[in-house]
Structure 1
Amino acid sequence: MGGQFIASLEEVKDGEFLKREVDGKKVLLTRVNGQIAAVENRCPHLGLPLAKGEICDGAVTCPFHGSRFDLLSGENLDWTHSFFGAELPKWSHKLIALGKAPQDLHTFDIECVDGAVYLRG
């Protein structure tokens, strides 16, 4: 084990985010089909927090502009298509993106040992 304690396994629930900060890193933990996911609490579009985003089918949707990310891999599944949850017409999606190309969500390496979750590196 070579990481810093971040949470107990029992604290991490399916469909809910557990917010933590470790060494200045803002981390969100959740379970996806029993597997622990650890992602940055920061949408790569404008850096806004994802903690209040909707979790569905192993992905989180940014509550501000609708970008959607796979919670285990960080892969971008959809890029900016709404404004504070209100769906916008397709022609406006590039405007909302503000010239930013789709980016993946930063994920963290974790290790689960003896009922605890550790953040590596």
Structure 2
Amino acid sequence: MEKIFVANLDDIETDALLSKNVSGNKVLLSRINGQICAVENRCPHLGLPLAKGKVCDGAVVCPFHGSSFDLLSGENIDWTNAFVGMPMPGWTHKLIALGKSPQPLKTFKVECEGEQIFIYV
């Protein structure tokens, strides 16, 4: 694995998303409960970007189909409950999922050195 500089500490805001392209990897950085985290900027449902999603209680919510993921662990919290940001009734969730099972986000190991943030890719 390669250690690569991605941002400075003051570039990362609490409960916000910063999108970066790092050696061909699309990465989202955030600060959750004081901890810097890095995940792939790609929803595992259909591969759509998460950068325009909202951060809520330490999770990013996909702006397209409502899936949510813990930003620190990548764990899937909720799977396909909306369409283009509009909440949908429970009976439609399996239709929106298109037969895909819930999956976690890919996470990247983060290391801080002074004011600089590095990830391993």
Normalised by the size of structure 2, how large is the TM-score? 0.96
Q: Which runs of 4+ in 1 moved over 2 A?
A: none
Q: CA deviation at 1:104?
A: 0.4
Q: CA deviation at 1:84?
A: 1.1
Q: Deviations over 1:73-103 (max 9, x none)?
A: 0000000010011111111110000000000
Partner of 1:113: 113
Gaps of 5+ in 2: none
- Secondary structure of the 2:47 match is coil
In percent, how many aligned pairs have the same letter?
A: 60
Please give the alpha-carbon distance, in whole angstroms, between the structure 2 residues aligned to 1:70 and 1:15.
12
Q: Which amino acid is the alignment partner of residue 23 of structure 1?
A: S
Q: CA RMSD in A?
A: 0.9
Q: CA deviation at 1:25?
A: 0.3
Please give the alpha-carbon distance, in whole angstroms, between the structure 1 residues aligned to 2:118 and 2:85.
33
- Secondary structure of the 1:44 match is coil
Gaps of 5+ in 1: none
Q: CA deviation at 1:3?
A: 1.1
Instruction: Map residues 36-115 of structure 1 onto 2, 5 A cutoff.
Output: 36-115=36-115
Q: Which amino acid is the alignment partner of residue 56 of structure 1?
A: C
Partner of 1:32: 32
Normalised by the size of structure 1, how large is the TM-score? 0.96
